[in-house]
């Protein structure tokens, strides 16, 4: 392995690597600055540089990497799934349902996406696959009403966990964000401590707009943690690093495929190494 | 918050308060700001580079007109090059082929293929007075076929009857036969979403293409996409040689740099914009509007 001088040109290449992974200009510059600090013009092997990048990224992500564990003291534990269109909300509910069912938990799923064509049927398929009870009303029904019904039924059937699916919505669509706020309000009326978790689902292909998504969904729905899907593709999802720096929200889970088993706990180390182009 | 490019370039260039022509040095400093603005708008890095090269060449030596500041001058050049790169004319869906004309929809998971399929079908039916058949080749996503069937009912366009257990390739053949026998003008084939690293699924869509010989192959992509836009566009284009791009979720507040990235790396036109979940949320691509968005103007 040929060593290279850690000069301005090398640092610029590192910055490009981070920009290509969607960290954005500011975060990329900050990380490269940290890597260069005290090492200017030192001779260094390429993998060593990547290792330095990875550890800088991991330093940011490490503190926010948190496993997603429902609080057994809350019965039912109520999870609300939110995010923009097509990010992977419904599929993530299906994957979590599969995991928790295999741990022997009783589940109720609320088909709160009453807007999108066949969204209810999609959730029902996941319910049948995993043996989770699904509460649904007809298409076009009030989403908050479905959430209300599901919690009531979950109490009656002794469910440990309720997961509420919601329709995808872009965060700049005020009327749709108001509707989401109403879902939260109705849930709280029924159970003041709920929703106990509000998961924002981000697609790994997303660029800088994800910062806005976090900002607005957090304000509207009180997001408690993040899930990043589609990391099985070519996108690295580096915007999570900028998000972690700015919002410090816990990152719980990553999606790595479309199957029930394609959900993993978020690992700051693995994610950082992938960003740096290691492994 | 993002300052619009005009403000930033104004700050750099206008302090020079020069009359006469822009020098290499003036433009060089301005290009660093342009670069940053484009990256913040999610334009892919390599595309940014060739773009700023083009702008630089055009800007150096340009006379600054008395009434105009150097900053405004450069912004105008950036905007013009952006519009040129994005493609100046609206490029409609081409149906100039023997009926039934097949249109193949491809893209990553959740990009908006099924929704856009129904929107296009509605548009061709209502504005183009065509008989359209839609078929879902998505054997993977739960309730994908029901989704298209429901949308078909909404927009009053026929969908191919669902036969459980068939492969995507078998459904594609059945769709072509049904379109022929049913005297349809257009048949739109909606496919399952796929990551481009999934070799089996990329091979499947290539086989569907070979069998149906589509006149249009539309890549449906999310306008909120970041740097990955180039990988996605290149991979689909090299595998099924796309004829155009549809950018969905243009109703969002994303800056939409993916438009420039995808257009630049494939050379294929952006044909349509998805502007909502509803069936009328489909608009012709307008380079002026998208350029303005990218520049935060
Ligand atoms: N490759 C891959 N695909 C995924 C992953 N998670 C979800 N998907 C796919 O992405 C597409 C959209 O997923 P959904 O779960 O329907 O997304 P959603 O957020 O519920 O979508 P809307 O309800 O329409 O807003 C589907 O095709 C899923 O199979 C993942 O981790 N990897
Ligand atoms: N706001 C907005 N939402 C859109 C647009 N186009 C599609 N959607 C939404 O995006 C989500 C995904 O759309 P689909 O049409 O199911 O996407 P797909 O590419 O067929 O997904 P898969 O088949 O799972 O790969 C749905 O919630 C749609 O309503 C658009 O232009 N704007
Ligand atoms: K996406
Ligand atoms: Mg959903
Ligand atoms: Mg689909």
Q: Which residues of A touch B235 (CB under 8 A)?
A: 234
Rounded Cα gap, residues B65 and B56, in angstroms: 18
Residue range B33-43, pLDDT digits in tens? 899 999 999 99
- pLDDT confidence of residue B2: 43
Please indicate whether residue B181 or residue A42 has the higher confidence score (pLDDT). Answer: B181
Of A232, A233, A234, A237, the closest CA to residue A275 belongs to A237
Amino acid B1: pLDDT: 32
Is A171 near chain B, with CB under 8 Å? yes
What does the pLDDT average to over A74-86? Answer: 98
The CA distances from residue B292 to A37, B246, B251, B268, B296, in Å, are: 38, 18, 14, 20, 6
Nearest to B151 among A88, A117, A207 (CB): A117
Ligand lying nearest the CA atom of residue A88 = 1
* pLDDT above 70 for B17: no
Q: What is the rounded average pLDDT of the residues A29-48?
A: 91
Smallest CA-to-CA distance from A166 within A253, A255, A68, A80 is with A80
pLDDT of residue B123: 98
Mean pLDDT of chain A: 96
Neighbours of B20 (CB within 10 A): 8
Instruction: Give the mean pLDDT of B274-293.
Output: 95
CB contact under 8 Å between B150 and A124, yes or no, is no
- Burial class (CB within 10 angstroms; exposed 0-12, middle 13-18, buried 19+) of B88: exposed
Environment class of B163 (CB within 10 Å of its CB; exposed 0-12, middle 13-18, buried 19+):
exposed
Q: What is the pLDDT of residues A218-254, one digit of tens each?
A: 999 999 999 999 999 999 999 999 999 999 999 999 9
CA distance B239 to A233: 16
For ligand 1, say whether the CB of A184 is within 6 Å of any of its atoms: no
Q: In angstroms, what is the span from residue A156 Cα to ligand 4's centroid?
A: 26
Asked whether A90 lines ligand 1 (CB < 6 A), one says yes
The answer to whether B253 contacts A85, with C-beta atoms less than 8 Å apart, is no
For residue B223, pLDDT over 80 is answered with yes
Give the chain B residue nearest A129 (alpha carbons): B142
Ligand 1 within 6 A of CB of A253: no
Is the Cβ–Cβ distance between A251 and A244 less than 8 Å? yes
Residue B18, pLDDT score: 63
Q: Quick one: pLDDT at residue A92? A: 98
Which of A94, A124, A233 shows the shortest C-beta gap to B108?
A233
- The phi, psi pair for A265, rounded to 5°, reads -65, 145
Task: Give pLDDT, residue B20.
Answer: 78
Burial class (CB in 10 A: 0-12, 13-18, 19+), A128: exposed
Output the pLDDT for position B243. Answer: 97
Tens-digit pLDDT profile for residues B92-151? 899 999 999 999 999 999 999 999 999 999 999 999 999 999 999 999 999 999 999 999
Q: Give the closest-approach CA distance of A187 to chain B in angstroms.
A: 26
Q: Is the pLDDT of residue B3 over 60?
A: no
Residue to mutate (ligand 1; options A97, A129, A227, A229; most atoms within 8 A of CB):
A229
Query: Under an 8 A CB cutoff, do B232 and A234 touch?
Result: yes
Share of chain B above pLDDT 70, in %: 97
Q: Is A257's C-beta closer than 6 angstroms to any atom of ligand 1?
A: yes
**Nearest CB neighbour to A209, from listed B228, B235, B254:** B254
B109 touching A (Cβ < 8 Å)? yes
Q: For a substitution probing ligand 1, which of A85, A86, A117, A259 has the most ligand atoms within 8 Å of its CB? A: A86
Mean pLDDT of A208-218: 98
Q: Kindly give, in sequence order, each residue whose CB lies less than 8 Å from that of residue B13, ignoring residues fewer than 6 positions away.
A: B22, B26, B29, B30, B69, B70, B71, B73, B74
Mean pLDDT, residues B51-70 taken together = 87
Best of A207, A227, A256, A275 to substitute, by most chain B Cβ atoms within 10 angstroms, is A207
CB of B228 within 8 A of CB of A233?
A: yes
Q: Which residues surround ligand 3, an ion (CB under 5 A)?
A: A 203, 205; B 222
**Alpha carbon of A91 to ligand 2 centroid (Å):** 14
- Starting from the CA of residue A94, give the closest ligand: 1
When CB atoms are compared, the residue of B110, B151, B251 closest to A87 is B110
Q: Confidence class of residue B13 from pLDDT cuts 50, 70 and 90?
A: confident
């Amino acid at each position: 392995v040929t060593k290279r001088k850690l000069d301005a040109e090398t640092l610029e290449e590192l910055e490009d690597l981070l920009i290509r992974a969607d960290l954005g200009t500011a975060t990329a510059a900050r990380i490269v600055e940290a890597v260069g600090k005290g090492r200017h013009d030192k001779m260094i092997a390429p993998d060593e540089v990547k290792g330095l990048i990875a550890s800088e990224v991991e330093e940011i992500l490490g503190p926010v990497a948190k496993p997603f564990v429902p609080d057994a003291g809350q019965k039912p534990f109520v999870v609300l799934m939110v995010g923009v269109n097509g990010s992977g909300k419904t599929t993530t509910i299906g994957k979590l349902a599969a995991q928790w069912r295999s741990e022997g938990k009783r589940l109720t799923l609320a088909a709160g996406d009453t807007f999108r064509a066949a969204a209810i049927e999609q959730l029902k398929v996941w319910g049948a696959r995993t043996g989770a009870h699904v509460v649904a009303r007809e298409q076009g029904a009030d989403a908050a009403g479905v959430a209300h019904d599901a919690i009531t039924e979950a109490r009656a059937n002794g469910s440990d966990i309720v997961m509420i699916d919601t329709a995808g919505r872009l965060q700049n669509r005020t009327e749709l964000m108001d509707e989401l706020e109403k879902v939260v309000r109705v849930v709280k009326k029924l159970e003041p401590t709920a929703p106990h978790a509000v998961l924002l689902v981000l697609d790994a292909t997303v660029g800088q707009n994800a910062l806005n998504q976090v900002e607005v969904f957090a304000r509207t729905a009180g997001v408690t943690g993040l899930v990043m899907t589609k990391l099985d593709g070519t996108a690295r999802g580096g915007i999570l690093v900028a998000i972690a720096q700015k919002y410090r929200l816990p990152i719980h889970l990553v999606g790595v495929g479309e199957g029930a088993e394609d959900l993993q706990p978020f690992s700051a180390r693995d994610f950082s190494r992938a960003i740096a182009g290691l492994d | 918050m993002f300052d619009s490019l005009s403000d930033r370039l104004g700050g750099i260039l206008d302090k020079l308060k020069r009359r006469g022509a822009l020098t290499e040095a003036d433009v060089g400093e301005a290009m660093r700001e342009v670069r940053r603005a484009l990256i913040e708008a999610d334009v892919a890095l390599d595309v940014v580079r060739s773009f700023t090269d083009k702008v630089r060449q055009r800007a150096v030596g340009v006379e600054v007109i008395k009434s105009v500041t150097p900053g405004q001058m450069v912004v105008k050049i950036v905007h013009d090059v952006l519009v040129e790169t994005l493609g100046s004319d609206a490029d409609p869906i081409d149906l100039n082929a023997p009926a039934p004309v097949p249109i193949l929809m491809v893209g990553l998971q959740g990009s908006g293929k099924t929704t856009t399929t129904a929107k296009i079908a509605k548009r061709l039916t209502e504005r183009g007075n065509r008989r359209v058949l839609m078929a879902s080749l998505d054997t993977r996503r739960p309730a994908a076929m029901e989704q298209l069937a429901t949308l078909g009912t909404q927009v009053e366009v026929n969908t191919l009857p669902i036969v459980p257990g068939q492969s995507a390739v078998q459904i594609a053949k059945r769709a072509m036969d049904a379109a022929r026998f049913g005297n349809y003008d257009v048949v739109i084939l909606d496919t399952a979403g796929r990551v481009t690293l999934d070799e089996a699924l990329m091979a499947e869509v290539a086989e569907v293409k070979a069998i149906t010989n589509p006149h249009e192959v539309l890549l449906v992509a999310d306008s909120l996409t970041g740097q990955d836009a180039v990988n996605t566009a290149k991979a689909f284009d090299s595998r099924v040689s796309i004829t155009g791009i549809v950018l969905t979720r243009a109703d969002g507040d994303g800056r939409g740099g993916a438009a420039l990235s995808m257009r630049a790396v494939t050379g294929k036109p952006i044909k349509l914009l998805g502007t909502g979940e509803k069936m009328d949320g489909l608009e012709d691509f307008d380079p002026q509007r998208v350029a303005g968005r990218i520049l935060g103007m």
